[in-house]
């Protein structure tokens, strides 16, 4: 199975991910639930890289199905 690692997020999706990153990061810091840090790091990486693995897999499934 081939996965395309080129950026697949639009600018508005990236902005939403940064907003989500701030909200979840503040909640994690205030409530001190440090086991949620991997979630925050995942949101950060998808926002910075502009690449979402779930979106890439779904796009790959559509291409291979047709």
Distance (Å, whole) CA 7 – CA 47: 10
Which two tokens mark 14? 């990236």
Q: 46: how many CB neighbours lie within 10 A of its CB?
A: 21
pTM: 0.76
Distance (Å, whole) CA 20 – CA 47: 10
Q: How confident is the model at residue 22 (pLDDT cuts 50, 70, 90)?
A: very high
Which two tokens mark 37? 């840090």
Span of 18-22, 38-42, 61-65 with lowest mean pLDDT: 61-65
């Amino acid at each position: 199975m081939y996965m395309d690692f080129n950026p697949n997020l639009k600018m508005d999706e990236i902005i939403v991910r940064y907003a989500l990153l701030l909200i979840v990061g503040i909640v994690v810091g205030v409530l001190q639930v440090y086991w949620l840090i991997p979630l925050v790091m995942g949101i950060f990486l998808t926002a910075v890289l502009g690449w979402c693995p779930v979106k890439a897999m779904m796009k790959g499934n559509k291409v291979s199905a047709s």
